[in-house]
A and B are shown apart, each in its own frame.
Chain A
Amino acid sequence: MKKAGSRIYMALVFLFLYAPILVLVVFSFNDTATASRTVWDGFTLRWYQRLFEDRMLLEALRNTIVIAVVAAIVSTVLGTMAAVGINSMKKLPRRIVMNVTNLPMVNPDIVTGVSLMLLFVAAVSLFGGRSLGMGSLTAAHITFCLPYVILSVLPKLRQMDPNLYEAAQDLGSPPVKAFFKVVLPEIVPGIVTGMIMAFTLSIDDFVISYFTSGTTQTLPIYIYSMTRRRVSPEINALSTVLFTVVMALLIVVNVRGSKDKAAERKGEEHS
């Protein structure tokens, strides 16, 4: 009886989480003349075809992905380096630096966005540039992704036995090699989490991008600009494609991960 109750609860939670996505997917196949999001009018693949014909949409998508990839990689590298540095600080400077890095996270997006815009506009005019664009967008995205990377790498570093690194050096390994061979493998899960987080944050972001984009357009801005007329079901189609790709990737990664773990466990048993 208790089990049935918890199952129903689980089902409700999943329904709540996935029903909106399901509706979105279903309406990406809606054969509607008025771009309706509520009235079902038969099945069509039209919106998918339009999606691949719409140059503006594809360009916005391309910008978004390029920025997300660059921001994720750069902020991961910078964030990991910063985390290693912060970890070896004394208590007081560490607290101060952590507070400073956390600031962009607690700051409302709109404040971050406006202040970054003012900074970039000043910088651009100082160097004789004319317009914000990909460069300023990427810089802004790296800025707001950084604290999340630091926050996800730092706990891994603190969990690690500090003697490991010293032991490696005692055994004759130069510091750089000791870092890459001993420290890095220990904190990789934190780095990967941070990178994925940075990537999703960057793809999601609207407010900060809105202020720092200049004459470039990312996908969230493009979608938002449709709201005076109506958001086209092309967006449903695009979301469906993105959702499927991410879902497939996650399944592949998880299946491989669990296989590796199973193999590891087997190996341990044998030894």
Chain B
Amino acid sequence: MKKWISLALCLLALLPVLSASAGAEELDTSVTLNVYNWGEYISNGTEGSLDVNAEFTRRTGIQVNYTTFDSNESLYSKLAGGGADYDIIIPSDYMISKLLNEGMLAELDFDNIPNFKYIDEKFRDPDYDPGCAHSAPYTWGVVGLFYNTDYIDEEITSWEALWDPDYAGKILMFDNPRDAFAIAQMRLGQSLNTTDPADWRAAADLLKEQKPMVQAYVMDQIFDKMEAGEAWIAPYYSGDAALLVENNDSIQFAIPEEGTNYFVDAICIPATSTHKREAEAYINFLLDPEIAGANMDYVGYSTPESAAKEYLEEDVVNDPLRYPDEETLSRTEVFVNLPDDVSKLVDTLWAEVKMGGPGESALLVAIILGFLALYVGIVIYKRRKRKREMA
């Protein structure tokens, strides 16, 4: 009797394995995919939304270990540092080209990703990854200005507003070099990916000129400061700004006429992944228009799939903020990775903008060294004194 029960239990235990393997042929359902994405960047099942990762596990039987990062640079340091075995990563455009240059991305096998056909034509040949051989677009958006109409009467049409002395002390700026420099470069009419050091220096000068008027260099605090009326005008990503504009009558969003940066976050597989086939199944799943629609409904960014718009609310799809018209998009430029020497220059210039010129940092170093010398002096003096007392 006991034997029969245990045999029956064994069979029962096998059942889910059998049915799962029947559903998705040749997928190894025993693996766990390590997914690394931006924070708050996937529908997670709260408030009746779709739990994307749970749905993937339900459909394929593959477990997902989902973790999050805060910036492209932290993603890069984690990948380059070793010790993290990721199967799916979702970096932005310029980071993709950097990873690509360093041979850290695996080439995708599109036979395993049939849903790639839903990606709109215009996203299929990006500058950061020609031909989209290593990445599948996840979301996109543009950078724009948002401003509080309670304090700013005129209609904002240019990045120049961020240099307007009338708004001095009420201006916010991005706290990362690429985004901040892009704004100055737009004003100067440069390419965002220029490799001419003189261009970058000119942009840095413009940022330095702006600095006394800037209230703070911030990222997510932009929302708090804008909502509370503490700041009047700030640049940010359209997908996030949309939420604020929709819920606050006095906040407007504008895409300046000089053009702007257009960004794409895309799904890639690191070259080190050992579960490439399963990772491709995950990409295919994310590109399913129904899933992509539900996902973007929660995330609030723009989808690169027209087919997914069916699953989104109509006023979201027609929102010029989330889906700017072709004419606006023609004035945008996407970031690509800069050569090492240029990107080092950008880091130095950015440090200069934020902390003052090299003169000031030398002064700081001198002060710190002075304190250190003083401290060492005191310690030595005390020791000698003690020794003398002992003797």
Q: Point out residues on A near B: beta carbons under 8 Å.
A: 33-39, 46, 49-50, 53-56, 117, 120-121, 124-125, 130-132, 136, 211-212, 214-217, 221-222, 224-232, 234
Contact = CB atoms under 8 A, between A and B. Distances in A.
Given A54-B46, A120-B83, A229-B39, A38 B54 contact: no
A55 B38 contact: no
A229 B38 contact: yes
A39 to B, nearest CB: 5
Contacts of A34: 223, 227, 243-244, 247-248
A165 to B, nearest CB: 33
Nearest to A35: B223
B65 A215 contact: yes
B223 A230 contact: yes
A115 to B, nearest CB: 12
A230 B84 contact: no
A37 B45 contact: no
Nearest to A124: B83
Given A55-B54, A131-B84, A36 B39 contact: no
Nearest to B32: A215
State the 7 A-B residue pairs at the shortest beta-carbon distance, nearest first. A225-B39, A131-B85, A225-B68, A121-B83, A226-B39, A38-B228, A132-B83
Interface in B160-202: none
A39 B248 CA distance: 11
Size category, B interface: 35 or more
A125 B71 contact: no
B82 interface: yes
B41 interface: yes
A161 to B, nearest CB: 29
Interface in B223-260: 223-225, 227-228, 230, 240, 243-244, 246-248
B56 interface: no
Contacts, number: 112
Contacts of A212: 83
B335 to A, nearest CB: 15
A229 B68 contact: no
A105 B244 CA distance: 44
Most buried by B among A39, A120, A121: A39
Given A130-B85, A226-B68, A227-B39, 20 more contacts: A35-B223, A36-B224, A36-B227, A39-B227, A39-B228, A121-B81, A121-B82, A136-B83, A214-B83, A215-B67, A215-B84, A216-B65, A221-B68, A226-B39, A227-B70, A228-B70, A229-B39, A229-B220, A229-B240, A230-B223
A54 B39 contact: no
B240 to A, nearest CB: 6
A56 B70 contact: no
Contacts of A214: 83-85
A55 B43 CA distance: 11
B85 A230 contact: no
Nearest to B49: A53
B276 to A, nearest CB: 14
A222 B44 CA distance: 14
Contact of B240 (A33, A230, A234): A230
A53 B67 CA distance: 17
B86 interface: yes
Contacts of B224: 36-38
26 contacts: A33-B243, A34-B227, A36-B227, A37-B224, A50-B46, A55-B44, A55-B51, A56-B66, A117-B81, A117-B83, A120-B83, A121-B81, A121-B83, A132-B83, A136-B83, A212-B83, A217-B67, A217-B68, A225-B38, A225-B70, A226-B220, A227-B220, A228-B71, A228-B219, A229-B40, A231-B220
A102 B10 CA distance: 54
Interface string B10-43: 0000000000000000000000001010111100
Nearest to A36: B227
Contacts of B36: 215
Contacts of A229: 38-41, 220, 240
B239 to A, nearest CB: 9
